Amino acid sequence: MTPNPDSGQISNRTTATEPDAHTEAKRRKLRIARRRATGLLIASALIYVLATHYGPAHGALAWVAAFAEAAMVGALADWYAVVALFRHPLGIRRLPHTAIIPRNKDRIADNLGEFIQGEFFSRERMEGLVVTVDPAARAARWLLKEENAARVAAWLRTGVRNAGGLLNENEVRAYLQRSVSRHLLSTDLAALAGRILASLTRSGRHQEVLDLLLRYSAGQLRRPELQQTLNDIFAEKLPLYFQRLKHWAGTKGGAFTARTVADLLEEIEENPQHPLRGHFDDWLREFTDKLQNDPEYRWRLEQLTQKIADHPALHRYVDEVWREWRDAALADLAADDSRFEAFLARQILRFGQVLEDDDGMRRWVNERAQAYVPQLVERYRHRLGQFISAKMKEWNETELVEKLELNIGADLQYIRINGALVGGLVGLVLHAISLWL
């Protein structure tokens, strides 16, 4: 039986997905390398047969035969060695130390995982890498490019939009209602109002507030709609036995009263020394003092605060605010010209500029990276090694052999070619020694 060097040819059977162009290029390269090595073996065998057959015709053919014989032996030996790495040569399973990689797949996976985590992710290597890379400067240069800033902003916008879709609507509303009520109850409204009024009184700004209220109230009282409403109220409330007075009130009483009060309010507004302003000052000081010091007033405001915090109208208002904010945010996040994304992109560019210009900040970022990156790698590098090992163990023998051959098989075929050439040279040396002896 003659050996078939291509007995271990990779099957053309595809896996669950069709191989991509890169994988197919590797397959083609491996086939070409195999054909070259096998062709050299066949050529050596043919030369040996011809040189041996016609050897008596010329003395130089003995040297050719010696070269070809040794080349053939070297090529066969290296073919056996290469094939034995991945499978049983000629399909003979009882040959010792063959199909080395499939038989020791789990041990190779463990050793590879330990090697990678020990050599590539050691603490010393990570510390040196951080110093060499200068992550702060690289990050600054990267963030200063508008396309990169836009890309990061788009990622963040997508993340925020997806996170918003995961929110439980009822839980968010309940949380907002509880938060508003809790903050309202935790606020000392009496003390807060007292401090505000005391500040206004000391600065004299309370008179400006009073002027605004007087002006607004007088303007409302002069509105025809309000005066007509007062006329109707007067006519309705007066007893029926005052028919003449009832008729007058229904047509003029409310308007007369509104104009009279409006004139008084305008008079107070126009006269800074009006006596009623002094009464207002006295009342405001008394009210401010009660807010700050009177327990009864404080208790009443606490009761009012409790009613407001528990009132359904407050909860409805919070719900309306949340819905409006949510709808506006979602509409902006879904828009092509999102203002939120544009804002993020501007801030990212600004941060990149600050990071590039500020030596202290870059130094701080690099120091943090030097301190935490090795710790992070040290914490997870064992898991990385275990992940690599587990992934290799998941591959079946056929899949593992195929992946390795596709990546290193073409280079291994040159071992066969070199074995033939080196073997031939050794054959020439041995033939020369035999003639000399």
Residue with tokens 């409403």: 229
Contact 277, 210 (CB under 8 A): yes
Looking at residue 12, what is its pLDDT?
44
How many Cβ atoms are within 10 Å of 143's Cβ, its own excluded?
Answer: 20
Query: For residues 14 and 25, what is the distance between their CA atoms, to the nearest angstrom?
Result: 15
Q: How confident is the model at residue 251 (pLDDT cuts 50, 70, 90)?
A: low
Residue 5: what pLDDT?
45
- Residue of 159, 152, 158 whose CA lies nearest to 352: 152
Q: How confident is the model at residue 204 (pLDDT cuts 50, 70, 90)?
A: low
**pLDDT per residue as tens digits for the range 319-352:** 888 888 888 888 888 888 889 899 999 999 999 9
Measured between alpha carbons, how far is 340 from 356 in angstroms, rounded to an integer?
Answer: 24
**Tell me, what's the pLDDT at 203?**
66
Q: What pLDDT was estimated at residue 243?
A: 60
Query: 242: pLDDT confidence band, cut at 50, 70 and 90?
Result: low
Report whether 101 contacts 82 (CB < 8 A): no
Residue 245: predicted pLDDT: 60
Q: What is the pTM of this model?
A: 0.45
Q: Does residue 142 or residue 385 have the better pLDDT?
A: 142
Pick the residue with more confidence: 194 or 100?
Answer: 100
Q: What is the pLDDT of residue 67?
A: 92
- Structural tokens at position 221: 């009282």
- Mean pLDDT over 410-432 rounds to 88
Distance, CA of 314 to CA of 96 (rounded, Å): 84
> Lowest-pLDDT range, 83-92, 106-115, 180-189, 219-228?
180-189
Choice between 234 and 134, residue whose per-residue pLDDT is larger: 134
CA-atom Rg of the chain in angstroms: 47
On whether the CB atoms of residues 105 and 391 are closer than 8 A, the answer is: no
pLDDT above 80 for 24 = yes
Res 46 pLDDT > 90:
yes
The DSSP result for 44-85, as a single string, is HHHHHHHHHHTGGG-THHHHHHHHHHHHHHHHHHHHHHHHHH
Judged against a pLDDT cut of 80, whether residue 20 lies above it is answered with no
> Which pLDDT band, with edges at 50, 70 and 90, does 228 fall under?
confident
Distance of CA 74 to the CA centre of its chain: 56
Cβ burial, residue 369 (10 Å; 0-12/13-18/19+): buried
DSSP string, 279-323: HHHHHHHHHHHHHHH-HHHHHHHHHHHHHHHH-HHHHHHHHHHHH
- How far does CA 153 lie from the centroid of its chain? 11
- The answer to whether the CB of 163 falls within 8 A of the CB of 389 is no
Lowest mean pLDDT among 66-70, 164-168, 265-269, 339-343: 164-168
Which pair of structure tokens corresponds to residue 226?
A: 């309000």
- Model confidence at 18, pLDDT cuts 50, 70, 90, reads very low
| Most confident option among 44-58, 119-133, 252-266 | 44-58
Cβ(413)–Cβ(36) under 8 Å? Answer: yes
> What's CA 236's distance to the chain center, in Å?
69
In one-letter notation, the amino acid at residue 148 is: N
Q: What is the pLDDT of residues 305-323, one digit of tens each?
A: 777 777 788 788 888 888 8
Q: What is the pLDDT of residue 248?
A: 60
- For 84, the token pair is 């034995």
Q: Please name which of 262, 253, 256, 259 lies closest in space to residue 216, comparing C-alpha atoms.
A: 262
Provide CB contacts within 8 A for 298, sequence distance 6+.
Answer: 190, 191, 291
Under a CB-based contact definition with an 8 Å cutoff, are residues 121 and 384 in contact?
A: yes
- Distance in angstroms (rounded) separating the CA atoms of residues 234 and 170: 49
Question: What pLDDT does residue 39 have?
Answer: 92
Do 193 and 293 form a contact (C-beta atoms < 8 A)? Answer: no
Whether 9 has a pLDDT exceeding 60, the answer reads no
d(CA 34, CA 25): 14
The pLDDT confidence band at residue 247, using thresholds 50, 70 and 90, is low
Average pLDDT, the chain: 80
Q: What share of the chain is helix, strand, coil (3-state, %, to 5)?
A: 85, 0, 15
The mean pLDDT value for 224-239 works out to 74
Residue 188: per-residue pLDDT? 67
Assess whether pLDDT exceeds 50 at residue 15.
no
**Per-position DSSP letters for 209-274, written without gaps between them:** HHHHHHHHHHHHHT-HHHHHHHHHHHHHHS-TT-HHHHHHIIIIIHHHHHHHHHHHHHHHHH-TT-
Q: What is the DSSP letter of 384?
A: H
Q: Is the pLDDT of residue 422 over 70?
A: yes
Structure letter (DSSP) for residue 9: P
**Which tens digit of pLDDT belongs to each residue from 111-170?**
877 887 777 777 777 777 777 888 888 899 998 999 999 999 999 888 888 877 666 777
